[in-house]
Amino acid sequence: MSDTAKDKRSALDKEALLMHAQGRPGKVEIRATKPLTTQHDLSLAYCPGVAAPCLEIERDPQLAYDYTAKGNIVAVITNGTAVLGLGNLGAQASKPVMEGKAVLFKRFADIDGIDLEVDTTDVEEFINSVRYLGPSFGGINLEDIRAPECFIIEQRLRELMDIPVFHDDQHGTAIITAAGLINACELTGRRMEDIKIVVNGAGAAAIACIELTQCLGVRAANTIMCDSKGVIYQGREEGMNQWKAAHASATKARTLADALVGADVFLGLSVQGALSSKMVETMAPKPIIFAMANPDPEILPEDAKAVRPDAIIATGRSDYPNQINNVLGFPYIFRGALDVRATTINEDMKAAAHAIAALAREDVPDEVDMAYSGKHLQYGSEYIIPAPFDPRLITRVPIAVAKAAMDSGVAQRPIIDMEAYKNELTARLDPTAPCLQAIFQETQANPKRVVFAEGEDGKSIRAAQAFFNAGYGTPILVGRESLITAKMKELGLPNLDGVEIINAAISKNTDLYTDVLYERQQRQGLLFRDCQRLVNQNRNIFGASMVVQGDADAMITGLTRNYHVALRDITRVIDPADHQSVVGMTLLVVQGRTVFLADTSVNVMPDARQLADTAQQVARKVRALGQEPRVAMLSFANFGNPMPKRTKDVRDAIELLDDMQVTFEYEGEMNADVALDFDLQKRIFPFTRLTGPANILIMPGLNPASISSGLMQQLGGGTVIGPLLLGLSKSAQIAPLGATVSDLVNLAALAAHDTI
């Protein structure tokens, strides 16, 4: 490894250790899915109410899938005998990896993973530790267990348990490798039945890769497997077992170097540095090199490219193109298996490899570009496998797995309506969530100074502390220090060095802020003493002045004042951005579906020009969040039936957008149900210009906008984020009066991000 690579690795290690230790240690926690806020809630969730589902499950064990979380929980189990490429670290040291798997299950497939580290290397003890866990889980993901024990363990558990048992190191790696190989062969003009493959490594993953590639058409006679002692050839006795013997080759080659001469494909599942540049030089034209040793590959891509620029190279690392990443497989494979209640994961279900390969050949969505710093990825030698952040994986792979399970007869709950299932899968992962997470991570990388104007309020103080702990920057509490510190003590909060407290009445900048405000407001009816009083006593005015003068980057307020009072205060100090109107946008997240609503906070009765401007502003923001905007201009009427004054304003706004030749989809005037139900829209109005359900709803007035978002928050079972203020020249956000601490932190982080 080069010095540069070592430095890069060292920096990554330090960052990883910090990430695992900061805040709440580790990567996982458990959260309740039912309310536990009242005595009645408790009586239903626990005694005496919980007896009812217990008795029902006793009557019919299958009802556990209806009354408990069993059907969405996977146990991630290991004994730590083969952790990554680091060897036998033991059960305890494997826990960070197992927690990581649990996080990936949740993030990519909305599956609750529970990690279990079993402290034994005895095969029988391990099997007996796992075999009785069937009532607790919907599936078992075996991980980081050394060969050959892993083969015995998996086979026995499959025989003993009636839920899916899947050793990801074997089958997960094999499925993603197969997907990449399918595309690499297509790009280099090869056929599976003609290629010569050399596999370095004879563990679980290597053997599974060989077996799956042979299912794809690779001939056994064209496959050579090597281990630490050289080629596994017919007649070899040293270091052999029944699993290696099954793949012994009739060849005169005795070393990896011998085997690679003229080879089309190298699959490395071994150790760092096993493949040399000289070996790569001897391979066939356009060699395919999958160097998958973790955390460091058999050869670095730059070293292989130096001698064979025509090579297609994949590794197990995220900092190089073509990452052979199991996260493309196991979350979605289990998703499909759980959803049909499969009794096992069989060979037919590994058809997921074809679904993954096909996805890489399609146009890459904008969400993926955002995850990769705006770089647009496209199918080719450096993109043969979909990126883990491709939101389409959640539908493509589980559907392929579910169909295979049904076709092979292992599905206990077949899916009748596959289109409805696709919609259900899409709803599981809200595309806004990863976009917001990316925004928050970018804010952490560029911390800002954010004013919490209502600094004496308990929620504001707690939010400031959470903002600081999250690494978003420096919170500035505006208020009297004695009251704030007393409130901190009352709340049991420590005094944090990273939180600043500023008293507007005694600030050294009060005179400057007063002069600037008077210059702006002297022709708006305010006297100098009025401006002086506002700066001294109105914390919104003071906070906004800090932002304008560069003493802070952004501000958050709204807890103790009416929204429009706070907005009036802010706009006395902060101007709108050039050629923009100030509007409010609310994010509605319901069962995984995200809709953006506007204007929800500023313009009471917008005219056509304001409606068109609102559509443009929100579309711009939604695109920045990684989604392609589809705008519906709402009205109680559909396309002119009837056409009163307010509906005419909406139609005029559409005509203005026509004249502006905007780059996003838009349609209207229409009802909300028509806008959101694309099948209904196509059936009744086949001339629609939208290509899918609207994700931006432009409301005809503030009254219906505010009422709709409020009802959704209280009765819709969804999450409401915002309203977010758009169109100001400086960053400020106003929280609703009932905002939670989390709401404040999110809005403050979004305000900080707007300044990056």
pLDDT tens, position by position, 116-166: 999 999 999 999 999 999 999 999 999 999 888 988 999 999 999 999 998
How many angstroms separate the most distant Cα atoms in the chain?
100
Judged against a pLDDT cut of 90, whether residue 536 lies above it is answered with yes
Enumerate domains of the chain plus CATH numbers.
39-68 (no CATH), 70-163 (3.40.50.10380), 190-324 (3.40.50.720), 325-429 (3.40.50.720), 436-571 (3.40.50.10950), 583-727 (3.40.50.10750)
Residue 286 known to be catalytic: no
Q: Which of 307, 551, 339, 601 is nearest to 451 (CA)?
A: 551
Q: State residue 595 phi and psi, 5-degree precision.
A: -130, 140
pTM of the model: 0.59
**Spatial CA neighbour of 556 closest among 752, 713, 742:** 752
Q: For residue 604, is pLDDT > 80?
A: yes
Task: Specify the amino acid at residue 118.
Answer: V
User: Tens digit of pLDDT for each residue in 546-569?
Assistant: 999 999 999 999 988 888 899 999
Question: In whole angstroms, what is the distance from residue 104 CA to residue 101 CA?
Answer: 5
The per-residue b/e assignment along 275-311, b for 16 or more CB within 10 angstroms, e otherwise, is: bbeebbebbbebbbbbbbbeebbbbbbebbbebbeeb
Residue scoring higher pLDDT (408 or 87): 408
Q: Report pLDDT for 2.
A: 60
Is 252 an active-site residue? no
Backbone angles phi, psi at 709, to 5 degrees: -65, -35
Stronger pLDDT, 550 or 590, i.e. the higher one: 550
pLDDT at 247 over 60: yes
Q: Which of 101, 196, 350, 403 is catalytic?
A: 101
Could you tell me the pLDDT band of residue 5, with boundaries at 50, 70 and 90?
low
Q: Which of 6, 8, 14, 46 is an active site residue?
A: 46
Between CA 620 and CA 624, with CA 623 as vertex, the angle to 5 degrees is 85
The whole-number pLDDT of residue 421 equals: 86
Per-residue pLDDT band at 346 (split at 50, 70, 90): confident
CA proximity to 736, closest of 586, 529, 541: 586
DSSP β-bridge partners for residue 265: 197, 288
Cβ within 8 Å of residue 498, ≥6 positions away: 468, 474, 475
Residue 622: predicted pLDDT? 87
Task: Look at 449 and 379; give whichever has higher pLDDT.
Answer: 449
| pLDDT score recorded for residue 223 | 94
- pLDDT of 8 reads 61
Q: How many CB atoms lie within 10 A of CB 474?
A: 17
Cβ–Cβ < 8 Å for 235, 211: no
Provide mean pLDDT across the span 91-113: 91
Kindly state the tokens that stand for 514: 């007063």
Distance CA 61, CA 66 (A): 10
Report whether pLDDT(432) > 60.
no
- Predicted local distance difference test score (pLDDT) of residue 426: 75
Q: Please check whether residue 253 is in contact with residue 233, taking contact to mean a CB–CB distance below 8 angstroms.
A: yes
Cis peptide before 148 (omega within 30 of 0): yes
Mean pLDDT (whole number) for 327-331? 87
> What mean pLDDT is reported for the chain?
87
The pLDDT score that the predictor gives to residue 632 is 92
Closest listed residue to residue 71, CA positions, set 404, 413, 422: 413
Q: Which of 12-16, 272-276, 543-547 has the lowest mean pLDDT?
A: 12-16
More reliable by pLDDT, 497 or 461: 461
Lowest-pLDDT choice from 366-370, 598-602, 611-615: 366-370
